Each structure stands twice: as C-alpha cells, then as structure tokens.
Structure 1
Amino acid sequence: MPRQPKKRQAASGRNPNGEGSIYQRSSDGRWVGQAYVLTTEGTRKRKFVYGATWDEAHTKLVELKSRSQRGIPTPDRAWKIADYLPYWLSAYVTDLKPTTARGYESAVRLHLVPALGTKRLDTLQVQHVKTFMNDFRVKCLCCAAGLDRTRRPARQCCSAGRCCKRYPSSRQIQFVHAVLRNALQHAMREELVARNVAKLVRVPAPRYRVGKGLTVEQVRKLLAATEGHRLHPLYVVAATLGLRRGELLGLRWSDLDLDAGTAAIGQTVQRTATGLHLQDTKTEESESILPLPEWTWLVLLDHQERQRRERARLAEVWQEHGLVFPSEVGTPMEPRNLNRHFAALRERAGCPDVRLHDLRHTVVSLLMELGVPPHVVQAIARHADVKLTLKVYSHANLDAMRQALGKLDGRLS
C-alpha cells in the first residue's frame, strides 16, 4: 500500500481542533474523513465524507472544511428527493393559486418523484437532471398518469400493450423542468444544496401558436345561434371585451357600473381538486376597468332584468352569489359545462374548429386591424407586455397583407 502523507499534529500528537481526520474502514476498505463543521441548525457537528482512496477522501474533507470556514453550513439532514419535494410543496406551494399548486403537485407526484426520488438532494448532479429530461421527452403521459385504470376496456391502450405514445409537449417539458428548478432554488435558500443543478440544464422553449381569431362573419353566426338563450349575454361580453373564460364566470354585478358603462375585472372562477374557487385574476395587469361598448351595455341591462325574473321564479332554490353569469340556480358555473355548451354552439353555427378563447383572440386582432395603437390594445387585453399583444394574439389577415404588398408592387413597377 502506498505510504500516505503525514499530517500536521499538535504537540500532544493529536490533530488541531477543526483539522479533522481520515481513516480507513476495515469492513470495506473505504476511506472516511471527519470534521466538526457548521450545520444548517446553527451548531457545529461532526460530519463525514467518503472516498475510495485517501486522496479522494482528503479532497472532500478539505472542501467540507472550506465551506464551513466561509460560513456556508452543511445540511444537517441527508434529504432524499422523494422526501424534500413533498416538504417543499407543503411549505411553499400551498400559498400559490389552487390551479398552480395542483399543477406543481402533479409534476412532483407523476414525474419527479418516480424518476429522481431515490437520489440524495445534496448529491444530485447535472447529469441526473439531463438523463431525467431526456427520458421524460419520450415518456407516455397516459402511462404516467395511470389513465388506463379509469378507462373502459375498449379505450385501453398502454395497459393493453398498445401504447398511445402521447408524449409531453414542449410546454409540459418546460413546466416540469421549472418545478424542479424552483424546488432546488428553495433548497439553496435553505442552504441544503450548494448549487441549483437544474439551472444548468437547458430545455427547449415552447413555440406558442399565433392566435388566429375568428372572422366577423363567424362571430355573427355564433352570436346568432345563441339568440334568446340565457348565455347569449356571456358570448356578447366575450366577443366585445375579450375576457378569459374564468373572468367571464367570475364577473359580479358589483363589478359593473351600468350607469357609468364600465366593468371592473377582479376575480376568476377556477376548478381544482377540491371544487370551484373564486380567486383573484391571473395577474395584477388582468385587474382593470374597461368601458362597455353600447351594444354590450344594452345586452347586460336586458340580462340583469331577465336574471331578476329568474331569481324570483326559482325563489328558495336560487343561491345568490352576485354573479353575472351563474349556473341555473345562481351558483358559480362549472367551467367544463360552459365548454360543453360552446362545443354544441359552434357545431350549430358551422364553426367546428373554433375555441371559446378564440373570441379573445378576435377582439385583439380586430382592434389591431382597425389601427388601434398597440398600447391601447394591450390595456384592453390586459397583457403584462405589449410584445405579447403583438406576437401571440394579433395577426395580419390575407387581405391586409395583399393590400400592403400591393402598395409595394405599385411603387416598384
């Protein structure tokens, strides 16, 4: 066995305080380094490092002591990913909006813990995260979520040996990576890890589809198909103000000033695992006061009177929540029920490929085509950044492009 370097010793023959020591275990021959260092509990405790050789153990011991001397504490507990992520969810994520917290919990339960749960938090490496992300790109989400267990036999795919290969989208890949990155960032703040290895792994940025919007004729067909229905005013508001689905269902009569002709957008309806929730809007920019177009104002006046008669007719069955567009008994409307109604509506109107959110795209696009300044359109759409208004939601239609290129053709020819 090669001779090991001699260590400096005190006059008593023992190592100076804080110097630590290295010895070889007789059970397996591994080298063990030990020293008293600062821990995350604020006290000094004896911590161990291990190596296959004396040099490896010595290098790790020097790093351990160096971090302690710089005031960087050593984690007092050897967290595993499977233990830390649920702790992080309960300690930090519960303060987020219910839908956001549900998405974080799903990412941890379905993807992160099954793949990385056995890894130690303080020894997680960049390569571990890279391998996980590469595997996740070709992971069937149907299998991961166990959807086959809830499907009828005729619809089974993965459990029947015929995998549907429903792989994650680039947006889903980015989201799961962001959840891991956020968790490790909190671990850094708690001084449980020295660096955030997830930040060192790049994932492809999703390419957002440019909102196509509807033509004026399509909007007219949709609204004509709802004439006389109790949800007709909802679609008018969607087509003229561009509110999101949750904002439409969360709109209260107290948010409307029909004398002044304004609407204050302040809350939204969201579905979570525990039921329907009324909560604040998506961002601070989403909270805004919008003027009501005259047509919208007249429709809402008529709708208010109709709802008053509906409430009187149902008497004790009606549960008042002050909502402009509630369910048939006054409670917050289930967002999925609105989706079902719109799915039937678009078929009747001969527009099978449009979405409810496309009405929001339409408002923004039509305003841009009418020459409204982008910063005004941004205020109406309540976007945080005018770049989003210009890039994602607005689009130039074929006629506008033909007109623009016609001007160029006239100049050059």
Structure 2
Amino acid sequence: MAKDPIKRIELKDGSVRYRFVVDIGRDPETGKRKQLTRTFDKQREARREYDRIRHQTGEGTYVKPSKATVNQVIDSYLKGATRGKRANTARNYRDAFRCVRGQLGNRVAQTVSKDDIEDLVDYMLTRGRKRGGKPGTPLSGRSVNLTLGRLKAAFELAVKEGKLVRNVVALVDPVSYQQAEREPWSKTEVHTFLRAITGDRLEVAWRLSLYGLRRGEVLGLRWSDIDLTAGTLKVVQTRVLVDYKVIIEPPKSRNGNRTLPLDAELIDALRALRKRQAVEAEEAGEAYEGSEYVVTDELGRPVHPEWYSDEFGRILRCAKLRRITLHDSRHTTLSLMEKAGVPISVISKWAGHYDSAFTQKTYVHAGDEDLAQGSVKLAKIYKIA
C-alpha cells in the first residue's frame, strides 16, 4: 500500500499541521532533483495542493513559487527586447515601464492580480505624468496602452519561462481614446514662416526642417554629406537626445539612408551659411572650435537638440504663427507634397519610410481647404454638358 505523502505534524504548542514534500523536477542548471515542502492548517487543503502540484508537474505546467519582483520580470524582458535596438528606441521601451516600476515594481510578480493592473491603469489616467516634483497629471490613452502592451509582453515572456502561472495583464482591456487630429500648417502659414526666417543665421536649418527631415537628421548633417555642385544631400546619420546625452545614431531604418535633391533656394542658403561660418571662424580666432556639422553656433559647435526645438518655438512666437511642434513641420511637408500631386511612393521614399501605406496613414493630412477643393471637383464631375 502506498505511503500517504501528507504527514501529520504536531507542534510544541499542541497545534496540528499537515505537511508534504513533493518532487517538482530537476534544476535546469545543475540537473539536481528539486523538492518543494508545503505546510497547511487543514489536511484537505494539503491534499488538494499536493494533487495539483503532482498533476501540473506531470503535464509540465507547474510554476514553482518565486519571489521574483515585477522589476525583475521587466528587466529580464528588456534584456532581449532592446537588444540591437537604437538607443532612442531602447529608451522608449524603458520609459514605458516608469509608472509600472513606481506602482508595482517591488511587488512579487506572482502576487499581482488583474485588479492591481486595473488600479495601475487608473493611476496612469489620473496622475501618471510627473515632472519636477509637481503633482501628477493624466497620461494620454495612447501612452497608457503602450505601457499595457509592453507589460503584457513582459508577463507573457515570464509565463513562457515558467515564472508566472498566467498573464494577468492580458485580462485588462486597452483604454478607449480618440487620437488627436494633427493639423499641419497650410501653404499660407508655410510662406509666413519662410518670410520670418529670411536672413536668420540658421535659415538653412529651418528650411531643412521644412524639407521633410527629422530633427536628428538636420542636426546630424555634415558638410561632407552635401554636394552643392550636384545639388544633393545624403542622410546617413542623426544626432539625437537619449538620457539627456546627445549621441550619434544611424537613421531610423534602412530606408532612412537616402539622397535628396536640393532646390535652388536651399543651395543658395547653404552657400551663404558656408561663407558665414568662414567669417565667424576668422573673427573668433582661437576660440573657434569648428566642427564638421552644418548646423552650429557662432563658435562652430553643433547645437543641442532641445535648444533647436526651443528656438523653433521662439520663431513661431515672433512670427505670430500657429503653434506646431518641430516634428509637425515634417507632417506639413509631406502633406503639401501629396496635395501638389507628388505620388505617395515618392513621398514615402523622400521621408525615408519603409512603407508608403504608413506614410499615407501617419503623415498625409487633409484640412478644410481640401474639402473645399473636393466640392469643386465634384461639381465638375456632376456637371451635365
């Protein structure tokens, strides 16, 4: 007759407990047999747990108790998820977990429930954004869903590794929200901006930002990347801000490496800047540091990305132009190109995108004036000769 694995244990104070020892497989690193000891107040509770562990061990689905925290689960996920990623992309992955680490980071991952994740979502939607010690303000629905997506992937990996029984994040519905509609500049607003920057020391930089280049691409542009005779510029690197440090990275994708033709006004502006920098170098003498970059300050030093964005905002205020972000100038360029009849395949290649459908969906926008043009077209279609 098989020996009962449930042992009756009498403690010194006379109370009774029920204990069992069960094999849970072998350690994958050492190959040694591993055993688990559990103790319960009631015999039926001990037997139920013993049967469960034996059944799941036999099926290979048993998850042993672990004190691994949510922070450790996240760290394990990030190790693989960010491998080979651009520094800026890896930073975005890490930033997505900021609220999770703050609210649940030190919790044992196996104790986290669906309700805990729901509470996390409520926190993010009410006071998840904190800056400079100020009271938290709501995160956008998009940011909350991004965090949920990353956390779901981290927990799913932990389930596959046998660290968690189930993925409780998968039980939480994404937040419903309406994406704010971008409204890039009209052609009239672009003309106002161009008049405002005429004669500005960095006129060529602002023109490049209105040429469809990203901020990092403009600031990473070197004179060696420009051929004024051929009238071309090559996008081969970017200067971006990661963890408050400016670093050099390749373009965002393989298609980001591209050669663009320059229009006559841009060529003139580049030549003017080249001459101006030569004068500045002569006037500064030994104080001139010099650099290979196109966009520099008066001492030849490449400008900081945040300063560049702030300066863009200052120009808009002086010109009394409707406020848009620096990246929205890229949206403006690609939208105006589409409205001018440039094929979407060409616009996508110009922007350095991998897919013209992505360009169409993300960067090409229609405004009220386009609707008015639509009515004119319809009137022509329906006009009876």
TM category (shorter chain) comes to 0.7 to 0.9
Once the 2 structures are TM-superposed, how far is the Cα of residue 65 of structure 1 from its aligned partner?
1.6
Q: TM-score, normalised by structure 1?
A: 0.78
Once the 2 structures are TM-superposed, how far is the Cα of residue 253 of structure 1 from its aligned partner?
1.6
Q: 1:277 and 2:244 equivalent?
A: no
105, 128, 131: which one pairs with 1:117?
Answer: 105
The 5 Å alignment of 1:257-268 reads 257-268=227-238
Aligned to 2:336: 366
Q: Is the 8 A contact 2:99 2:128 kept in 1?
A: no
Partner Cα separation in structure 1 for residue 8 and residue 253 of structure 2: 58
Partner Cα separation in structure 2 for residue 207 and residue 286 of structure 1: 30
Q: Is the 8 A contact 1:24 1:32 kept in 2?
A: no
Once the 2 structures are TM-superposed, how far is the Cα of residue 274 of structure 1 from its aligned partner?
5.0
Aligned to 1:80: 69
Aligned to 1:34: 22
134, 137, 142: which one pairs with 2:125?
Answer: 137
CA deviations on 1:335-387 (whole Å, 9 max, x unpaired) are 22112211221122120423322321221111111111111111112223323
* 5+ residue gaps, structure 2: none
The 5 Å alignment of 1:338-357 reads 338-357=308-327
The 5 Å alignment of 1:176-215 reads 176-188=147-159, 190-193=161-164, 195-204=166-175, 207-215=178-186
Q: 1:331 and 2:301 equivalent?
A: yes
Pair 1:258–1:49, CA change in 2 (3 A): farther
Pair 1:358–1:47, CA change in 2 (3 A): same
In structure 2, what residue type is equivalent to 1:246?
Answer: G
CA deviations on 1:273-316 (whole Å, 9 max, x unpaired) are 35211112223332222222222222222222322332333333
CA deviations on 1:74-105 (whole Å, 9 max, x unpaired) are 66964122344345556764754333344444
Q: 1:57 and 2:45 equivalent?
A: no
Pair 1:95–1:386, CA change in 2 (3 A): closer
Q: Is the 8 A contact 1:261 1:291 kept in 2?
A: yes
The 5 Å alignment of 1:154-173 reads 158=135, 166-173=137-144
Aligned to 2:207: 236
Once the 2 structures are TM-superposed, how far is the Cα of residue 232 of structure 1 from its aligned partner?
0.5
Once the 2 structures are TM-superposed, how far is the Cα of residue 243 of structure 1 from its aligned partner?
0.7
Once the 2 structures are TM-superposed, how far is the Cα of residue 44 of structure 1 from its aligned partner?
3.7
Secondary structure of the residue that 2:127 maps to in structure 1? coil
Pair 1:207–1:285, CA change in 2 (3 A): farther
Q: Is the 8 A contact 1:247 1:269 kept in 2?
A: yes
Aligned to 1:380: 350
Secondary structure of the residue that 1:213 maps to in structure 2? coil
262, 274, 285: which one pairs with 1:315?
Answer: 285
Pair 1:333–1:209, CA change in 2 (3 A): same
Q: 1:98 and 2:69 equivalent?
A: no
Q: 1:395 and 2:343 equivalent?
A: no
Between 301-310 and 87-96, report the one with greater CA deviation: 87-96
Aligned to 1:287: 257
| Identity fraction in percent | 23
CA deviations on 1:167-210 (whole Å, 9 max, x unpaired) are 11112202222332343344356543455443443313664444
Secondary structure of the residue that 2:139 maps to in structure 1? coil
Pair 1:356–1:65, CA change in 2 (3 A): closer
Count of paired positions: 375
Pair 1:120–1:43, CA change in 2 (3 A): farther
Between 378-387 and 35-44, report the one with greater CA deviation: 35-44
Partner Cα separation in structure 1 for residue 285 and residue 62 of structure 2: 65
Partner Cα separation in structure 1 for residue 55 and residue 300 of structure 2: 65
Partner Cα separation in structure 1 for residue 67 and residue 292 of structure 2: 52
Partner Cα separation in structure 1 for residue 30 and residue 172 of structure 2: 32
Pair 1:107–1:392, CA change in 2 (3 A): closer
Q: 1:147 and 2:147 equivalent?
A: no
Once the 2 structures are TM-superposed, how far is the Cα of residue 134 of structure 1 from its aligned partner?
3.6
Q: Is the 8 A contact 2:73 2:155 kept in 1?
A: no
CA deviations on 1:382-413 (whole Å, 9 max, x unpaired) are 22332332223222333432232244346178
Q: TM-score, normalised by structure 2?
A: 0.83
Indicate the RMSD between aligned Cα atoms, in angstroms: 3.2
